[in-house]
């Protein structure tokens, strides 16, 4: 361990590992600090991802694929089920192995990694971030960096210390709880989603199969809902009703920042990536793939800036992210806001109309098309998703 | 502990105090993400409110998925 690196990454989730790897691959020195004992654990995730989202960064590998997904099952409040098939398109991951493997790719590229290192402050020189303070095994330490990359997840405090507003409106926070349960009868090629005010108002409920009759079962609700009823109460009710007595292998809480990306994700000496930057698809709540994309862009730009000896270059990161995904996420967010206000009747009507479409023509796009019959003002936004 | 040695967190704005119920927290960070005052310290398996920053706005209470942060009308021991 040195006391100075070109890049210090805070957090070893998918975004942090990709930032570390893409910076290291360009030949700069990188240290990644993680507060927990293990990279990739605990897992706070439904673990669903598209194949394309994975393969942009790492070849598919059986050792972290729990289930191969080819169908969505969308369930309306009155029980009407809409099934959409789309070939071999996604996975349910074993993230404790997946995240670990991602970190190994960073290590292979030359990044150093230190776990049990809790970052608790930033170093500044002339108002510019120039390193971090951290606690390691009870000792307070410091490490200098030309660029700090904050990949510290939903709790995201590092960016705040650099003066960037990273906290999220509680109404946009999807407050989640999930169990991994055994003896669950569900098709192992299908992701199940449930909607409606009884299961997950202003959010959705999921059952994602993990193979061997196990599944991730959980939900997220907005903080507005949480004011009156917690995610935990909704989960307990659902389990009681659908899977009473199912053995619980894991139970976790978690938050998904379901909002467009922060207005500012870079400042002199610092970049923010992944959940910390709110680089989550606000409609689905998926943040693994988009976090990896954000991290890779951040890591690449940080290394370029150092190589060119032009540290201002890191400020181009905001635009690079916006062009790649940020703009899309703004559109997804508008759709989310539209859908969140749907009544149970509206969900039921959509499901009913959708099932009248011939089976081979049922696509996710058509769900939205049908949704539009009920809510024409969404049309422009949806059109943008598919055109832009 | 001798009752005289007890220290209490006081609300600046109202009577209700925020308390993180010991031993129930999952350390997920949801509350930290919504706190406008950066008033929650979260380590691997340790969490506490930084009293001098907390305004008792309750956003953390509404956001905790598993009902760990709560109001406590009687005062919270620190
Ligand atoms: C219940 C739930 C279900 C989800 N389901 C899905 C899904 O099915 N599909 C999907 O794509 N996404 C899902 N997500 C979202 C996904 O988990 C996140 O978007 C993703 O993990 C973000 O990656 P990240 O690297 O930005 O952050 P994280 O994976 O959260 O990593 C951040 C890391 O930073 C560390 N850290 C934080 N603070 C410090 C500090 N001060 N010092 C050192 N280290 C620190 C943390 O310990 C952590 O390891 C879900 C989220 C939740 C909560
Ligand atoms: S009450 Fe408000 S200020 Fe205090 S810890 Fe909770 S969110 Fe932060
Ligand atoms: S939101 Fe609740 S479970 Fe999560 S860290 Fe805060 S108090 Fe703990």
pLDDT digits (tens, 9 = 90+) for A147-185: 999 999 999 999 999 999 999 999 999 999 999 999 999
Decide: A133 and A122 in contact? Cβ < 8 Å. Answer: yes
- Nearest residue (CA) to ligand 2, atom 7: B35
> What are the structural domains of chain B?
23-78 (3.30.70.20)
Residue minimizing CA distance to atom 5 of ligand 3:
B27
Query: Are A230 and B66 in contact (CB < 8 Å)?
Result: yes
Calculate ∠ Cα A191-A41-B20, nearest 5°: 95
Q: Residue A63 domain-assigned?
A: no
Query: To test the ligand 1 pocket, which listed residue (A9, A31, A33, A44) has its Cβ within 8 A of the most ligand atoms?
Result: A44
A180 and A202 both lie in a single domain: yes
CATH number at residue A105: 3.50.50.60
Q: Which residues of B touch A232 (CB under 8 A)?
A: 65-67
Q: Does ligand 3 lie within 6 Å of residue B20's CB atom?
A: yes
Smallest Cα–Cα separation from A251: which of A289, A212, A219? A219
pLDDT at A326: 96
Residue A246 lies inside a defined structural domain of this protein: yes
pLDDT (tens digit per residue) in B62-76: 999 999 998 776 655
Q: How many whole angstroms from B23 Cα to the centroid of ligand 3? A: 11
Check whether residue A188 and residue A40 sit in a common domain. no
Residue A157 has its nearest CB partner, among B32, B65, B67, at B32
Length of chain A: 388
Looking at the domain assignment, is residue A144 inside a domain? yes
| C-beta separation of B35 from A175 below 8 A | no
A226: CATH: 3.30.9.10
User: For residue A355, what pLDDT is reported?
Assistant: 84
Task: Tell me how close the Cα of B61 comes to any Cα of chain A, in angstroms.
Answer: 8
In which element (H, E) is residue B49 found?
strand B47-49
Low-confidence ranges of chain B (pLDDT < 70): 1-16, 73-78
And the tokens for A12? Answer: 């070893």
Q: So what's the pLDDT on residue B74?
A: 64
Question: Which residue has its alpha carbon closest to ligand 3 atom 1?
Answer: B64
Instruction: Note whether A153 and A248 are same-domain residues.
Output: no
Question: Do A143 and A198 lie in a common domain?
Answer: no
Quick: pLDDT tens for A277-305: 999 999 889 999 999 999 999 999 999 99
Quick check: A278 and A257 in contact, CB under 8 A?
A: yes
Domain count, chain A: 3
> How remote is the C-alpha of A135 from its chain's centroid?
27
Whether A38 contacts A44, CB under 8 Å: no
Whether residue A167 lies within 8 A of chain B, CB to CB, comes out as yes
Q: Are A251 and A183 within one domain?
A: yes
**Long-range Cβ contact pairs of A84-90 (< 8 A, separation 24 or more):** A84/A362, A84/A363, A84/A364, A84/A367, A85/A362, A86/A363, A86/A364, A88/A51, A89/A50, A89/A51, A89/A52, A90/A48, A90/A49, A90/A50, A90/A51, A90/A191
Angle, helix A344-354 to helix A364-374, in steps of 10 degrees: 130
Judge whether A52 lies within some domain.
no
Residue stretches of chain A with pLDDT short of 50? 383-388
Return d(Cα B25, Cα A135) in angstroms, integer: 21
ipTM attached to this prediction: 0.91
Distances, alpha carbon B43 to alpha carbons A34, A44, A367, in Å: 11, 16, 42
Measured distance CA(A388)–CA(A373) in Å, rounded: 22
- Please give the pLDDT value at position A387: 43
Partners of A36 on chain B (C-beta within 8 Å) are 44
Show the tokens assigned to A78: 């009155």
Instruction: Show Cβ contacts of residue B42 under 8 Å, excluding neighbours closer than 6 positions.
Output: A155, B27, B29, B32
Residue A214 phi/psi, 5-degree rounding, is -105, 160
Same domain as A193, residue A104: no
- Say yes or no: A205 and A340 in one domain: no
Cβ(A120)–Cβ(A133) below 8 Å = yes
Residues A83 and A144 in one domain: no
User: Does the Cβ of B30 fall within 6 Å of ligand 3?
Assistant: yes
Of A168, A230, A254, which has the smallest distance from its Cβ to B34's Cβ? A168
| Contact flag B62-A35 (C-beta cutoff 8 Å) | no
Q: Residue A377 is part of which domain span?
A: 336-386
Per-residue confidence (pLDDT) for residue A337, from 0 to 100: 85
Residue A112 lies in a domain: yes
Domain membership of residue A353 (yes or no) is yes
Residue A58 lies in a domain: no
A131 and A28 in a common domain: yes
Q: Quick one: pLDDT at residue A223? A: 95
The C-alpha of A60 sits at a distance from chain B's nearest C-alpha, in angstroms, of: 28
Same-domain check for residues A78 and A29: no
Indicate whether A30 and A147 sit together in one domain.
Answer: yes
- Which one of the ligands is nearest to A91 CA? 1
The atom of ligand 2 lying closest to the CA of B63 is 7
Let me know if residue A64 belongs to a domain.
Answer: no
Cα(B33)–Cα(A280) distance, integer angstroms = 14
Judgement on whether residues A321 and A373 belong to the same structural domain of the protein: no
Contact indicator for A87, A67 with CB cutoff of 8 Å = no
Tokens 């070893």, residue located: A12
Nearest alpha carbon, ligand 1 atom 5: A46
Cβ-based contacts of B62 with chain A (< 8 Å):
170, 223-224, 226-227
């Amino acid at each position: 361990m040195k006391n100075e690196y070109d890049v210090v990454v805070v957090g070893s989730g998918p975004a942090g590992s990709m930032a570390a790897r893409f910076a290291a691959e360009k030949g700069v020195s990188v240290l990644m600090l993680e507060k927990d004992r293990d990279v990739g654990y605990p897992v706070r995730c439904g673990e669903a991802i598209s194949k394309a989202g994975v393969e942009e960064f790492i070849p598919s590998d059986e050792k972290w694929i729990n289930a191969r997904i080819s169908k969505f099952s969308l369930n309306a409040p009155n029980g009407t089920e809409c099934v959409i098939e789309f070939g071999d398109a996604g996975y349910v991951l074993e993230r404790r192995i997946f995240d670990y493997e991602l970190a190994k790719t960073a290590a292979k590229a030359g990044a150093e990694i230190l776990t049990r290192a809790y970052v608790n402050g930033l170093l500044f020189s002339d108002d510019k971030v120039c390193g971090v303070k951290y606690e390691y095994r009870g000792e307070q330490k410091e490490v200098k960096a030309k660029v700090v990359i904050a990949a510290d997840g939903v709790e995201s405090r590092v960016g705040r210390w650099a003066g960037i507003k990273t906290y999220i409106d509680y109404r946009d926070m999807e407050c989640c709880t999930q169990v991994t349960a055994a003896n669950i009868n569900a098709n192992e090629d299908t992701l199940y989603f449930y909607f409606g005010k009884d299961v997950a108002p202003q959010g959705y409920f999921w059952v994602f199969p993990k193979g061997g009759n196990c599944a991730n079962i959980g939900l997220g609700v907005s903080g507005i809902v949480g004011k009156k009823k917690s995610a935990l109460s909704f989960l307990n009710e659902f389990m009681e009703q659908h899977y009473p007595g199912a053995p619980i292998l894991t139970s976790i809480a978690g938050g998904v920042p379901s909002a467009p990306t922060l207005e500012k994700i870079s400042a002199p000496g610092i970049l923010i990536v992944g959940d910390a930057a709110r680089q989550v698809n606000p409609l689905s709540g998926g943040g693994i793939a988009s976090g990896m994309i954000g991290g890779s862009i951040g890591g690449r730009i940080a290394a370029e800036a150092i190589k060119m000896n032009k540290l201002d270059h890191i400020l181009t990161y905001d635009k690079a992210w916006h062009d790649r995904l940020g703009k899309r996420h703004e559109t997804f967010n508008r759709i989310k806001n539209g859908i969140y206000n749907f009544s149970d009747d509206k969900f039921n009507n959509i499901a009913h109309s959708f099932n009248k479409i011939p089976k081979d023509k049922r696509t996710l796009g058509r769900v939205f098309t049908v949704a539009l019959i009920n809510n024409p003002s969404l049309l422009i936004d949806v059109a943008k998703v598919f055109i832009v | 502990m001798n009752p005289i040695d007890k220290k209490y967190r006081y609300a600046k704005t109202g009577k209700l105090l925020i308390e993180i119920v010991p031993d129930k927290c999952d350390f997920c960070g949801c509350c930290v993400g919504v706190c406008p005052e950066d008033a929650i310290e979260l380590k691997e398996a340790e969490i506490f409110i930084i009293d001098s920053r907390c305004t008792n706005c309750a956003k953390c209470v509404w956001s905790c998925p598993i009902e760990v942060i709560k109001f406590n009308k009687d005062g919270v021991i620190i």
